[in-house]
Amino acid sequence: MSETTLNSELLEHEEKKSLASREFGFWVYLMTDAVIFALLFASYVVLSKNSAAGPTSKDLFDLGHTAGETALLLLSSLTFGLATIAMTADRAGRVVQWLFVTLILGLGFLAMEMLEFHGMIAQGAGPGTSGFLSAFFTLVGTHGLHVAFGAIGICVMIGQVMVKGLTLPVRSRLVRLGLFWHFLDIVWIGIFSVVYLPGVM
């Protein structure tokens, strides 16, 4: 075995070790994020009935609008999964296409959420109106902020796939971003089930 081959194998081994430690660090981050959302859910449940004689969830929530947001986010999770499948098949062009579709769906979700927030504030139901609305805007807004950061991450990954190709580090980053995106879907299902559905019943 030549010295060049040996050095190449050592570098590849070190790169895999580095990626493994980053993946572990990402899982730690995801668990801490889950704890933060659990606390926000608990705060909302405690404060959800404290409307301070102001508008209640039945006055404000539009289940049809929320169903549209849910459909966009769930579809974006599907398209991200298709991007991951394309990655395993070494089809960089398809990866970029599916990531772009995911980005459009994510931005559509954010646009609908901003419309919802704007409409509520226009009705005098801002986050400072009551404990219920403070908890609502904090929980849903934190999730929306995560989606916005995820959308930025998708833009970065589109650029990396186009410039660098499907190298081992790019694949690792794409898998981690996919886990983050799917995690946000799970959190949104929780929001839909804990916040919106009981709020209109």
For 138-153, how does the pLDDT look when each residue is reduced to its tens digit (9 = 90+)?
999 999 999 999 999 9
pLDDT at residue 66, as a whole number: 94
What is the band of 35 on the pLDDT scale with cuts at 50, 70, 90?
very high
Buried-state track 72-88, b at ≥16 Cβ within 10 A, e below 16: bbebbbebbebbbebbe
pLDDT at residue 23, as a whole number: 82
> How many Å is the maximal CA-CA distance in the chain?
79
What is the band of 16 on the pLDDT scale with cuts at 50, 70, 90?
low
For 61-106, how does the pLDDT look when each residue is reduced to its tens digit (9 = 90+)?
999 999 999 999 999 999 999 999 999 999 999 999 999 999 999 9
Buried-state track 157-180, b at ≥16 Cβ within 10 A, e below 16: bbebbeeeebeeebbbbbebbbbb
Of the chain, the percentage scoring pLDDT greater than 70 comes to: 90
Report the predicted TM-score, pTM, of the whole model to 2 decimal places.
Answer: 0.89
Q: How many CA atoms lie within 13 A of 123 on its CB side?
A: 14
